[in-house]
Structure 1
Amino acid sequence: MMPQVQWQAPLCGGDGGNACLQIGHTPDGTPILRETARPDEMVTTTREGLRNFIEAAKSGELDHLT
């Protein structure tokens, strides 16, 4: 069973809320991501992995994915 997760408010795109992503963390600080449409499907990562992903997105390295 997944430990209790502290979820942030969903981040939704401009499509009326059909593509919402949530980020949360477990009590030990493990970052977790999920889509609100599929709350039972989660991806865990490390703090460093999440930081690297956010920095890549901010710098435009992931722009080709949108």
Structure 2
Amino acid sequence: MSETQWQEPICGAGGGNTCLQIGHTAAGTPVLRETTQPTELITTTHQGLRNLIEAAKRGDLDHLL
């Protein structure tokens, strides 16, 4: 299997067409993309993705909104 497996898009409460998707490649590499730019991927490590999610949960990224 060579395709990336994507989770359902994460979209804001107001709807719109800007949504984020998180997935993983066949090799297990975590990837992120915006649904409006599906060919532009950000790759990371499992630890990098874990750090991002934990920082968001703590509110450490709220100043970016």
Would the TM-score normalized by the shorter structure come out above 0.5?
Answer: yes
TM-score when normalising by structure 1: 0.90
TM superposition score normalised by structure 2: 0.91
Match of 1:32 in 2: 31
Can you give the 5+ residue segments of structure 2 that lack an aligned partner in the other structure?
none
Name the SS of the counterpart of 1:56 in structure 2.
helix
State the alpha-carbon separation in 2 of the partners of residues 5 and 17 from structure 1.
24
**Deviation larger for 25-34 or 14-23:** 14-23
Structure 1: 5+ residue runs without aligned partners? Answer: none
Aligned to 2:4: 5
Deviations 1:31-66 (A, max 9, x none): 000000000111000000000000000001101001
Query: Is 1:41 matched with 2:53?
Result: no
State the AA in 2 paired with 1:18: N
Identity of aligned residues (%): 66
Which residue pairs with 2:59 in the alignment? 60
| Alignment size in residue pairs | 64
Q: CA RMSD in A?
A: 1.0
1:15-30 alignment, distance < 5 Å: 15-30=14-29
